[in-house]
Structure 1
Amino acid sequence: MKIRVGLMLLALLGGCDNASPPDKGFAGLGTEAVAFTPVVPGRVFSFPADHGAHEGFRIEWWYVTANLKDAEGRDFGVQWTLFRSALDAAPQASGWRNQTIWLGHAAVTSATVHHAAERYARGGVGQAGVRTTPFDAWIDDWRFGTQAVGPDPLADMQLKARGPHFSYDLRLTSTRPLVLQGDQGFSQKSEQGQASYYYSQPFFQAAGALEIDGRRYQVSGPAWLDREWSSQPLTENQTGWDWFSLHLENGDHVMLYRMRHKDGEPYLTGTWIDARGQARTLDARAISLTPLDTAEVAGRSMPVRWSIKIPARQLDVTTRALNPDAWMNLRIPYWEGPVQLSGSHGGNGYLEMTGY
């Protein structure tokens, strides 16, 4: 899902208007949002409209990760995220009266290097935004936009970003269907009913150029898009999450997330997506998700090696971080980077860990 670190943007909103959100749940995300549109079961998704922004909801994001290799077999990871967060639930005005905050995160990772960058923008002035015809999501010169000529804008996309020590320009293509996560797109995050609307495109194939510290690479590999929007996605008791997106060598894909609590067992769920795009929800009883080894990262003990078991699918793998030091040293820091699989299935994917 990422229940996306994008949710953490809510912790920044007060800073934009000289007020601080209360510390309820991770990054204040357990605070009440009664004025905003609630997330309820039974929503009918509509595309391409739902690729765009959803006014009335408090937070949403467009999030892409890619697991890439160059011609010599060297592994890389790329992340691109655009977050939209509303300061109030009223219809948004134009110009500087607009009450929308946009935030961009981008990163690249190799076995030895991790670089991350961020951008901020106020809505209403053209510096950042999302449009649906043709689909384009941008903040400054960072872009995730369509190049497709047919009815599906996600069939052919351009993804690009740059920071002080990196840049990338990738083409993402797919012929497979979107995947609605959870219960037909209603993705529950707690036993109390907190939820988001959530869909993914896990079947992207990426190819293009990546530059790190002045060295340029031609790369290709699988990529994954997550789209979520919500108004109150966490409870006060939830301290952070561990989220996986996995590309298996047999063509299947797996999404898992574990919402950690101050008290009690984590909330655990996921989705198994077969090679045809058929999705099956996994509940906590079907999943064993266990940290194995930790590493000292930015003064924190982070679990960078995990055991994942889904017996009904004969999955028994260990994930290993390509670079244990994939720390997003941004205004709100977190860990995010590519992982590699070994065991019953080969493959790769991405891991995000927040709240440590």
Structure 2
Amino acid sequence: MAKRNIGFELNLKEGQKIVELKFDKRLKKRFDKDFEKNHTYYLKQFLVTKKDYDIVNNALNEAVKMSLPDNVEDGCKWCKGESNDVGDKNCSKYYLQMEVTFMLASNEFIRIISKNKHIYNDKPNLKKLTVKFYDCFRFIKGEGKMYLDLDRLCRFTLESGFLTITKMFSSSDTLTNLKIINSTLNDIEEKDLSNKINKIEDENYLDLQKMFFENKRRFYKDEIFIEEREGVAIKGLSRNKKKEPTVVHYALYYHYLQQSKDFGYFENHPEGKWIAIKELIKKDNIKTTAKYFQIVYNRLTNYHTNRIAKKEEANISYVANTMLKDYPKAKEIALLELQQAKIKSR
């Protein structure tokens, strides 16, 4: 079920006008202090710099101005200089209803962020999400109205949360991640079942959450499989006098060759990635299956944090100093990542 949009409209009867209330200085000072941390305060915090806040705020103000009725200045006593009463501004109603809409929408956004601490603590991600928050406003041209597309905002927030969770998983071990994923999936399924029993519409995008965590579970199950196979391979190597490249070595080797443009990407093969990998395994006589090679290759190529993990330090060193000795550009890329792996392992 799509979320309801957030918007506010003033319906003034003929002859009615907006009245500006004025506080005495002492009361105004107290009021300003009590409400110092309003929606504007938090949005500025989320966007980090004044420059970025000014950019999105100026764009919003321009869109607000463009939505006003074309004839708003006609007969305006304020514009003609016939009145100093703010209530005589023809545009007052439109500006006020859009200001209230923005305040209500901002407070809802701040509430959503406060409930998702993992997003709040990921400042670069929060900054990007806040920019997208401004992009969720819609304007009705010629009517001086605006509203927040709450469904769009919630989907942006969900996506942002997934990115943050992925970062968190990358800094934790596989088994811990699987425990968290299984527990979360259980909670999602219980909530989904409760909704179905009580005939409650899903407002939390449970299907998308379930899809995300199921994908992560598959990924980390593959991780365990790979780690177990790597362990067996290392034990086997220790019994051999001559060290032969492992599947991990070959995956890293071709990744660095592709990065240096010494070897084409598998995706560019005329018959597709799968055929390219099968041909490669046959050509290099790699002792593995195409499926397993692709799993290892994807894990290392698609995730920089996996590639420079502590356990890969020895593998990168072997590839850089043994397998890439005739490819200076690729070797340079590998050595740079080797330094990153060494720093991470300290």
| TM interval, short-chain normalised | under 0.3
Higher share in strand: 1
Higher share in helix: 2
TM-score if structure 2 supplies the norm length? 0.20
- Report which of the two structures shows the higher radius of gyration computed on alpha carbons: 2
